[in-house]
Amino acid sequence: MTLLRLDDRIKTFKLLNMSKATTLDPKVLRHCAAALRTLSHPERLRIVEALEAGPLEVSDLTTKLKRPQATVSQHLMRLRAHGLVAAERSGRIARYRVAHAGCLTILGCIRSHFAK
């Protein structure tokens, strides 16, 4: 698993929000591909979709998705590593949220394209 530095994650998602088509730097293309690979897993897409309504704790996600806590935590780790979700801690409890609106834009594109 390739971890992206925070500044690379920010650049990647700024580019995902661009409305004009541009030629991207090969390094940026690799970061975009890594983010898309991370989103390509059905369970991770379900997690992002669940977080679309707002921040949730792991226990809320496990209940909503009907998946074991270990599975949900593993997928959240991958999503966090690529800057797609973020965690806000309050004591021992972490609430997860979508880190960037570009992730929801991608989800919307997937829905509109494949829901036909």
What is the C-alpha to C-alpha distance for residues 54 and 7, in angstroms, rounded to an integer?
24
Contacts made by residues 60-64, CB under 8 angstroms, sequence distance 24+: 61/96
Positions of E strands within the chain: 56-57, 85-90, 93-98
Confidence grade of residue 18 (pLDDT, cut at 50, 70, 90): low
- Over residues 47-78, the pLDDT tens digits come to 999 999 999 999 999 999 999 999 999 999 99
Q: How far is CA 102 from the centre of its chain?
A: 9
Question: Which of 64, 108, 57, 112 lies closest to 85 in space, CA to CA?
Answer: 57
The correct CATH number of 6-114 out of 3.40.50.1370, 1.10.10.10, 3.40.50.2000, 1.20.1300.10 is 1.10.10.10
Report pTM.
Answer: 0.76
Q: Where are the domains of the chain?
A: 6-114
What is the C-alpha to C-alpha distance for residues 68 and 70, in angstroms, rounded to an integer?
5
